[in-house]
A and B are shown apart, each in its own frame.
Chain A
Amino acid sequence: MTSRRDANDEDDGYDDIPLHHQRPFGTGLHKKPIAFVSASSLSTVTQPPSSAASSQPAGASVADLYLSMVLPDDAAAAASAPRSASAPPSTAPAADPTSTTIPSEPTPSAATATTTSVPSQPCPVCSLPLPPSHDPAALAAHNTSLAHQLCLPYSPPPSALDRTRMGLTYLSAHGWDPDARRGLGAEEQGIQFPLKPRVREERLGLGAPAPARRPGEKGKDGEEASKKGRLLDAKKVRKMAAEDRKRREELREELFGDGKLEKYLGVGRAAQSAPPPGPRAAERRRGLGT
């Protein structure tokens, strides 16, 4: 079963990034690990995924689709070749009736070679063959594989409500689950979150643009703030002017400092003979504000 892991090694880059960055995804998984791994009630659990398989591509095909998109044709072939050589997963189609949807183009020859070694028990989630249950490491690898993760139903992050609140205790006692994303009511059909109050600028008409609020606010709302602003201006104005000058000087230095531009524009010679760049350069100089 280490071979299964090898197959994934190749995809390590793809495996890790989403798991690390999508925290909620990871948390959700952490919350309900057993529900997905339990293989004992296989017959009952397989039903939903098989129906899902028809509507959405199963694990392997997602991976293949992704590869075919990311890698050019020849590279894909090259990539699939070593994979098929070492990886039993793609052999599943031959043994597993549910996985007929998986395109069988990659390596039919390798498939036949490895079928015998694989006890073809499909994973109820991604319908890829499972590693034997006595190998927890392989199982874990399977469960964290991209294909398996993509096939998991999306489990939203748990609610941020404080679990010690008396109100929550009451609601949970009457069968409301804070993580189920349901509201109250006979069919728990109510709204999930309270309405948000939105304070409007006084007397601003309906549909008037939001940025128009800023000057209004200065006028009515924060008179002190605008006064303060003006005071600061008086103090800072010199400093700001100095900074401004410094910045412009730097820019000028950059543009004209090494003399290359002047050389390029042909100052000196061109000053008399070539009128078009002349005024432009002068303009630029004026614009940059000496």
Chain B
Amino acid sequence: MADSTKTLKRSSTERGGSQDTKRPRTDDNGVDAMAAKANPYLAHLNQEDSDGPASHSFKSPLDRMERHNTTADQALKAEDSDTNPWTGRPHSQQYYRILKTRRDLPVSKQRQEFLDMYHSAQILVFVGETGSGKTTQIPQYVLYDELPHLTGKLIACTQPRRVAAMSVAQRVADELDVTLGEEVGYSIRFENRTGPKTLLKYMTDGQLLREAMHDHDMSRYGCIILDEAHERTLATDILMALLKQIAERRKDLKIIVMSATLDAQKFQTYFNNAPLLAVPGRTHPVEIFYTPEPERDYVEAAVRTVLQIHASEPEGDILLFLTGEEEIEDACRRISLEVDEMIRESDAGPMAVYPLYGTLPPHQQQRIFDKAPEPFRKGGRPGRKCIVATNIAETSLTIDGIVYVVDPGFSKQKIYNPRTRVESLLVSPISKASAQQRAGRAGRTRPGKCFRLYTESAFKKELIEQTYPEILRSNLANTVLELKKLGVEDLVHFDLMDPPAPETMMRALEELNYLACLDDDGELTTLGSLASEFPLDPALAVMLISSPEFYCSNEMLSITSLLSVPQIWVRPNNARKRADEMKQQFAHPDGDHLTLLNAYHAFKAAEQRGEDLKKWCHEHFLSYRHLSSADNVRAQLKRIMETHGIELVSTPFQNKEYYVNIRRALLAGFFMQVAMRESANSKVYKTVKDDQLVMIHPSTVLTAAYDWVVYNEFVLTTKQYVRTVTNIRPEWLLEIAPHYYDLDTFEKGEIKSALTRITEKVRRRQAMKGGK
């Protein structure tokens, strides 16, 4: 990282130098040269010297601009000019087309106002509703003011979601008429598309946090923009607290906090009454409807509402909010079926139904922007599209044409209980703020309607005002490790906007202590420092770091990568049985982790044979997308392991201990996620120390009921499940994690007595061996 900063600085000085040497020459050539420059027929003559990196030979409109003292007019002129001030190449036709639409965006009218405020304050809070253009425009406004090519200090703009960082970076690269990855780039976990020329960088908030671990002052950056701050993701919250501190030390660092909702006063007060600039969104009134009675089944009610709208409301697209993939696919199917019937029976118009959720492949996500279908015949009833989405569509996505919103009042929310150490995704009521945001989606193009599938009194009584920020709902083990690495000493008085509950913090500290990442005084250990280098959960990182001791670091690397991507198993509704049969092919009797590994090995073998991988995956009911991203993750993690000298070793596949080693290595990180079977015939397991009663998730390949298992995650629905489970032997626990399985500190119970019996057995066996 330090290297790239250096090269960047060097290149900018080179550029400066070349300008000085070349300018007098153009003067010598006099008027002719100037004319030649302006003459479009002679444009090819300029081509040569605008190609290289030192290309600022032309009179750049930026030359007249003074950093932190520019005006909107100057910037507009620079944007209007024939040559691209950032690359020196002439602007393309597409550029001007986009420029025209950019000038129509609501933020565009307040460019001067923004600059004035930006000049006068170090920290600025910016509020603009979705669709105001803030995410794409504000960073560019800053770019024309910061002039980062002069200082070598980049502009960073953070996004909570990877997809957003990628797509917005692409869009802005188009708008600036530059190649993505050069002047404008992005950086997300496991993928970095920036180069030495990069001036503006979109990145996930988590990524900026990781960078800060090695650069406590964020000295690479001249301006940091935190976008979508209203979402209050864990990383954004931590960044805000860090930047608040850094701003004290680095007076030259500018910070912009951007939010889509009007509760920005909270941000203002937090940042010592920073000035606030608000851009009104383009919104029309939205009429809101409630149900008279609570609904028994909100999915059914939602489907009915959509059909009702289709039957009786004038033209306009529908946006339905549901909670998860399964529910959305189910609703899509039901709506399509019903609409077909409506078309047959009552001559209804056509309707295209599109799902939208995070794990959907990008090209399918793109389909939501398709136009609504045409009516069947001229003058027939209008067609419309219906988008069934999770709360991604709430703020971060702008879909034009939506006139009707159906809101059942739920979303899936993560919640962490430090007392049982269970982090789960639960369907929970949304907040009032969320409900208003959802309703607002209906008024983007013309006055709209929002149908809420609950009563008005439920809205008033059951919904909380604001969604709880993620930091209050998460396991903080990873965060605490990062903060420690960031040099935060006092976690108690760390100035967070919403500090987490003390118990949550205590749990995180203890987990890290058990993983030997923190010592008993809460100081970072060598292992902890190494673990923080991996963009992984501490347990996974520790497992990976200690895997060479079990002679299987190659395998653990694969398993870690597979656990870091979404489920690789595909189980379509219409072919569940066949999918399960296919999965059985890869099944390992000892557990799901090993089955994952088998599937990955089969995938790599198919790759070696040169098969069509997409086809192969389809046939075997595996997700090509997730397997290849696991492959990518693996390569990245491998690089990190190599730079830190962690050996990559394997035993021969024929070795009797091959799988045993892997199972033991799992415990090195996951010894805190172990469950013991309650009794001989029971299907119920009890988690160690937390005493939660759980069942093994039905997706498991385990057929025999083993007494002891290690699990990857805890799933809380109406029942409690553990998912991705592997059989282990209790002796290993005592051997690999003796500090956690210290019987003196164990609470009395079945697990303690079972472990005591095992200790006895081990002792006796050793005594016998010793005797012989």
Contact = CB atoms under 8 A, between A and B. Distances in A.
Identify which of A168, A173, A176, A206 gathers the most chain B CB atoms within 10 Å of its CB.
A206
A190 to B, nearest CB: 3
Interface residues of chain A: helix, strand, loop or mixed (majority)? loop
B428 interface: yes
B716 A197 contact: yes
A206 B454 contact: yes
Given A202-B718, A206-B409, A178 B520 contact: no
B514 to A, nearest CB: 9
Contacts of A190: 496, 498-502
Interface in B408-422: 408-410, 415-419, 422
A55 interface: no
Contacts, number: 161
A208 interface: yes
A7 to B, nearest CB: 45
B44 interface: no
Contact of A184 (B417, B458, B491): B491
B735 interface: no
A39 B550 CA distance: 67
A232 interface: no
A255 interface: no
Contacts of B496: 184-186, 190
Contact of A197 (B298, B415, B463): B415
Nearest to B410: A206
B690 to A, nearest CB: 14
A152 to B, nearest CB: 26
A191 B499 contact: yes
A41 interface: no
B458 A206 contact: yes
Contacts of B492: 171, 174-176, 184, 188
A171 B297 contact: no
Nearest to B291: A205
B435 to A, nearest CB: 10
A201 interface: yes
Interface in A203-255: 203-209, 212, 220-221
Contacts of B299: 203
A17 interface: no
B490 A194 contact: no
Given A203-B298, A206-B408, A194 B501 contact: yes
A193 B291 CA distance: 35
A260 interface: no
Contacts of B463: 206
A167 B490 contact: no
Given A200-B427, A205-B453, A185 B495 contact: yes
Interface string A56-69: 00000000000000
B428 A174 contact: no
B521 interface: yes
A183 interface: yes
B296 A208 contact: yes
B493 interface: yes
Given A199-B426, A206-B454, A207-B454, 6 more contacts: A184-B492, A190-B496, A200-B426, A203-B297, A204-B296, A205-B298
Going nearest first, the 5 A-B pairs with the smallest beta carbon separation are A167-B506, A207-B458, A190-B499, A205-B295, A185-B499
16 contacts: A161-B503, A175-B490, A178-B502, A184-B505, A185-B496, A190-B498, A190-B500, A191-B472, A194-B417, A195-B501, A202-B427, A202-B718, A205-B294, A205-B298, A206-B462, A221-B718
